[in-house]
Amino acid sequence: MPRELGPSLNERQFFLQALKEEVRIDSRGFGDFRAIQLDFGDEYGVSDVRIGKTRVLTNITAEVTTPFPDRPFDGPFTITTSLSAMASPSFSGPPSETEVLLARLLEKTLRRSGALDTESLCLIAGRAVFSIRADVHVLSHDGNLTDAACLGVVAALRHFRRGDSEVKGEDVKVFTMAEREGVALSLLHYPLCVTFSFYEGEVVLVDATLSEEQMREGSCTIGMNKHGEVCQIAKLGGAPVDAVILLSCSNLALRHVERMSKVMEERLLEDAKRRYKGGIKAEPSSENARVP
């Protein structure tokens, strides 16, 4: 099993000394995120989030399936996270703890909080529903996968268009994008995650890099929407932190969620404009117009 070196003693000491002097290795403020870059793919439902050197690609797909018998009106919504050797050689093999916890956090933040209106995916009760699938691919791991992945999935869900559909009696007809414009998914709110890392009992860092994560004593991920509703909190063990600090984290989280929501809003708008300019109707035919 390949293993990672992890920070040396010198790096640990230097890092802790720097924290005492209120300096981070990349000279960010303790409460600052790295630059967030959000891009959308040529296809609908593909988002590419970059936070510093961390990069997460999300791909949304829809398929018509039969619903689960106990939930005849709900379209299934699944999130798959895959950490491959691309992010780090130690991720080859069975799912690591990082992967399981990441999947759980996304599940709690997005699914349990009811971000996607799954009932709107129903075509014929008990017979046909759209099932939505989000595949999260971690391309590069330099810390804070959770926040990046959560932003990626929400942005991709908002960007996604499923084929328009028509129900005639028992038959479901799904139109291709060429035939009819796609339909956006119905999202009830847009929860995002902010992860805090704790050091020496009282230092709180936002958006830790990989080496900062390797040296932290504990962490807490807070999922929130911009309306100030907390969707999920996960401080899964680690060094104890004062309750008051945790409460102040939730206030700080709201600020970052508001900011990230704004970035997402802007980028979605830009993308929509870009698509409109090209003429969305003209798009499908361009595929065949290739250079001879």
151-180: which residues touch other proteins (CB under 8 A)?
162-163, 174-178
The one among 39, 71, 72, 107 contacting other proteins by CB under 8 A: 107
Q: Which stretch binds other proteins (CB under 8 A): 31-39, 80-88, 120-128, 149-157?
A: 80-88
**181 binds other proteins, rule: CB under 8 A:** no
Round to whole Å and give the CA distance between 46 and 24: 33
- The number of beta carbons lying within 10 Å of the beta carbon of residue 269 is 10
8 binding other proteins? (CB under 8 A): yes
Pairing relation of β-strands 77-83 and 161-162?
unpaired
CA distances for 247 relative to 95, 203, 241, 251, angstroms: 32, 14, 11, 7
Residue 80 interacting with other proteins (CB under 8 A): yes
When the beta carbons of 85 and 269 are compared against other proteins, the nearer one is: 85
Nearer to other proteins, 66 or 251 (CB): 251
User: Count residues contacting other proteins (CB under 8 A)?
Assistant: 102
29 touches other proteins by CB under 8 A: no
How far is the C-alpha of 198 from the C-alpha of 216, rounded, in Å? 6
Residue 251 binds other proteins (CB under 8 A): yes
Nearest approach in angstroms of CB 240 to other proteins is 4
168-78-137-199 Cα dihedral, nearest 10 degrees:
150
How far apart (Å, rounded) are the C-alpha atoms in residues 116 and 131? 11
| Choice from 37, 85, 126, 266 touching other proteins (CB under 8 A) | 85
Under the binding rule (CB under 8 A), the answer on residue 270 touching other proteins is no
Among residue numbers 45 through 74, which ones bind other proteins (CB under 8 A)?
46, 53, 55, 57, 59, 61-64
Rounded to a whole number of angstroms, the CA Rg of the chain reads: 21
CB-based burial, 13-49: b 16+ in 10 Å, e otherwise = eebeeebeeeebeeebebeebbebebebeeebbbbbb
d(C-alpha 292, C-alpha 158), whole Å: 36
Site for other proteins in 187-246 (CB under 8 A): 210, 217-218, 220, 224, 228-244, 246
Nearest approach in angstroms of CB 50 to other proteins is 10
Q: Which of 103, 121, 156, 208 binds other proteins (CB under 8 A)?
A: 103
SS3 190: coil
From 97-105, 120-128, 148-156, 263-271, span contacting other proteins (CB under 8 A): 97-105
Residue 274 beta carbon to other proteins: minimum distance, rounded to whole angstroms:
9
Determine if 277 is a binding residue for other proteins (CB under 8 A): no
Contacting other proteins (CB under 8 A), which of 51, 129, 137, 144?
A: 137
**d(Cα 216, Cα 214) in Å, to the nearest integer?**
6
Angle (CA) 281-284-286 rounded to 5° is 105
139 binds other proteins (CB under 8 A): yes
114-133 mask for other proteins (x: CB under 8 A)? x------------------x
Tell how far CA 7 is from the center of its chain.
27
Give the Cβ contact number of residue 191 at 10 Å. 27
- Residue 288: CB minimum distance to other proteins, A: 7
